Amino acid sequence: MFYDVDGIYEEADQITDGIHPFGKSFQLTLDCTMTAKKPSSNGKYEARHSVDHGMRDSWAAIQTHTMPQFMGDYSFGLRVQDPSIQAVITFVDLALGPSNSFIIVDDVEAFVNDTLQGSIGPNIDPSTGVLARKFYITVGEGLVAPATDPTLTYCTYLMMRVHKIDSSTNRIYVDKAFLRYPRNDLTLNLSAIGPRAIDYAFVGATVMLGGVLVHNDLSAHHETLTFDQDNFMNTVDDELENCLGVQKSSLCPTLFNPILETTMNQPTTILIKHHVSKGGLEWDIFNEWSSPNNRELKEPVVCFENFTALKGINSEGDLQYVIPRRYDFRDVALASDGFIGSVNELIRQINMAGHPQAKNKRGNSAFNPPVSSGDANTGSHMGYVRAYLGKEVESRTGEKGLTIVIHSTVPGATGRDFAVWLTNHSVYSYQPTGDRSWGSFGDQ
């Protein structure tokens, strides 16, 4: 899987170095986060790892692969909420203008203390309640719809932007309000002029941190919180800042391996360094890309509510989240001489990520995982696994090869499960005579 052994790419693409071209290689992802589980297993593992191994305050993530064009006039809604930060409305006065309109809730404590703290979060002034960084809330989800079509309660989101919180009176002050539903936005006035926000918010409605981002190609989506298909990750990065009230630097747009991997199929990931609880992060909420009973196995945008869980000790002695690492066999082959050399180089790279003093080509840590935008560290598992050369094997077609054994370094390995994902973008089929793993096996 390292080389173009039959010369197919030489004939088709005039690639003469014998190595797979960009975007057409075989890849291996080593994931020790303890969150890489089959959907059918999630129910059994969710409670088990929730506190002991950090899922209570884990990072969420949004990931893209090769981004297809969003065809047609669709919203492709991206839900970005934290259902654990919510309250219930006890009083409404949304006709006092953008500066003074407010709702009263049963308790604002979660919006003050459970949001990201310090200068990288909303940074609420303790004396005035004014937010240095505004955020959005969703009000009355599931019970609100535009007056022109009351049946749209299941897909309409009443969103408001918070600019001030008064903890003494449990008031949340908002300076913007609008309805968002499939392929449309409806601006609501914070005054007596219709359409009025006060006609949609009501006592007893839930208030939740966050909102819905949509595709900006539709002129009907004239409000904020939109993303651009041609610059998806950068525009989502900006709108996450606006939606959640978090400083952009607290987000971490990253590649699994920003130095070695350059293929077109390399996913790009935004790490959201703030917990997004169950049900709060979801792409295509209006079911426009695919239908609920026929979802694609791998959609162009993949959301992870709990992208991290397990922590390790980095080279400075501090606790840090383990993240996945993707090894591109094309890049490995470019750094090697022949098949045996490529196998040994892959083993070396996996094991290098387990040595605290290991350095990558740029002189940065090959042990510490990257934690911010532009971070040149390339670590991942921080020593939770190691690899060694196995025995000779033969494929179903008679091609000879070698096995690589990857195993946990934790004694007994109890509770330290990890996953190895195989992704084949090459024209060569992967044809082992058999697969061996504990728990389950799958490829992409």
Per-residue pLDDT, 415: 60
Q: Between 406 and 255, where is the model more confident?
A: 406
pLDDT band of 428, cuts 50, 70, 90 = confident
Q: CA–CA separation, 398 vs 5, rounded Å?
A: 14
User: Residue 299: pLDDT above 50?
Assistant: yes
User: Residue 54: pLDDT above 50?
Assistant: no
The token pair that represents 327 in the structure block: 């090894």
Q: Between 427 and 265, where is the model more confident?
A: 427
User: Residue 117: pLDDT above 90?
Assistant: no
Q: CA–CA separation, 294 vs 164, rounded Å?
A: 43
Other C-beta atoms within 10 Å of 373: how many?
15
Q: CA–CA separation, 86 vs 138, rounded Å?
A: 9
Per-residue pLDDT, 254: 53
pLDDT band of 374, cuts 50, 70, 90 = low
Q: Between 298 and 185, where is the model more confident?
A: 185
Per-residue pLDDT, 250: 67
Q: Between 50 and 98, where is the model more confident?
A: 98
Q: DSSP characters for 267-281?
A: -EEEEESS---TT-E
Closest CA to 263 of 101, 38, 429, 29: 29
pLDDT band of 110, cuts 50, 70, 90 = very high
Contact 425, 26 (CB under 8 A): yes
130-173 pLDDT tens trace? 999 999 999 999 999 999 999 999 999 999 999 999 999 999 99
| Residue 103 CA to its chain's centroid (Å) | 32
User: Residue 214: pLDDT above 60?
Assistant: yes
Mean pLDDT of the 124-135 span: 95
Mean pLDDT of the 170-182 span: 98
Per-residue pLDDT, 43: 44
User: Residue 325: pLDDT above 70?
Assistant: yes
pLDDT band of 60, cuts 50, 70, 90 = confident
Q: CA–CA separation, 387 vs 347, rounded Å?
A: 6
Mean pLDDT of the 69-76 span: 75
Mean pLDDT of the 363-387 span: 86
Helix locations, 353-402, DSSP H? none
Lowest mean pLDDT among 244-248, 406-410, 430-434: 430-434
Buried b or exposed e, range 121-152, using 16+ CB within 10 angstroms: bbbbeeeebebebbbbbbbbbeebbbeeeeee
376-388 pLDDT tens trace? 888 999 999 999 9
pLDDT band of 38, cuts 50, 70, 90 = very low
Which residues lie closer than 8 Å to 191 by C-beta, 6 or more apart?
A: 95, 96, 97
Contact 248, 52 (CB under 8 A): no
Mean pLDDT of the 213-229 span: 89
Per-residue pLDDT, 64: 81
Per-residue pLDDT, 42: 47
**How many percent of the chain have pLDDT more than 70?**
84
Per-residue pLDDT, 52: 44
pLDDT band of 362, cuts 50, 70, 90 = confident
User: Residue 240: pLDDT above 50?
Assistant: yes
pLDDT band of 419, cuts 50, 70, 90 = confident
